[in-house]
Amino acid sequence: GLPPGGLAIYGQLRADYALELKQYNCHRDAVARLREIIAGSVAPRHYALCCHPEETITTWLTCLARYAGLSDEARRTRARSALNKFNRDQENRPLCWCAMEGWLARWGELFVEARLSGLEGTSADSCHYWQSPFLETLYRSPLADWAMMYQIRIVGKQQENSDFLDMLTDARDSIYRLGPALKPNAACCATCTWQGRGGKGRR
Could you tell me the residue ranges of all domains in the chain?
A: 1-70, 92-203
pLDDT confidence band for 188 (50 / 70 / 90):
low
Q: Considering just the CA atoms, what is the radius of gyration of the chain in Å?
A: 20
Output the pLDDT for position 81: 92
* 120-128 contact pairs (CB < 8 A, 24+): 120/76, 122/164, 124/163, 124/165, 125/161, 125/163, 126/161, 127/161, 127/162, 127/163, 127/164, 127/167, 128/160, 128/161
Give pLDDT tens digits for 20-45. 898 888 888 887 877 777 777 777 76
Q: C-alpha angle with apex 176: 188 to 108, nearest 5 degrees? A: 85
* Half-sphere CA count of 160, side-chain side, radius 13 A: 7
Helix (H) or strand (E) segment spanning residue 194: none
Give pLDDT tens digits for 109-161. 888 888 878 888 887 766 677 888 888 899 988 888 888 888 877 665 555 55
**Closest C-alpha to 106, from 195, 177, 30, 170:** 30
- DSSP letters for 98-164: HHHHHHHHHHHHHHHHHHHHT-TT-STT--HHHHHHHHHHHTTSTTHHHHHHHHHHHHHTT-TT--H
**Closest C-alpha to 140, from 194, 201, 180:** 194
Q: Which residue has the higher pLDDT, 6 or 194?
A: 6
pLDDT confidence band for 85 (50 / 70 / 90):
very high
Output the pLDDT for position 201: 35
Q: What is the average pLDDT across 87-100?
A: 83
* Listed ranges 3-7, 62-66, 76-80, 179-183; the one with the highest mean pLDDT: 76-80
Q: What is the average pLDDT across 33-60?
A: 75
Give pLDDT tens digits for 5-19. 777 788 888 888 988
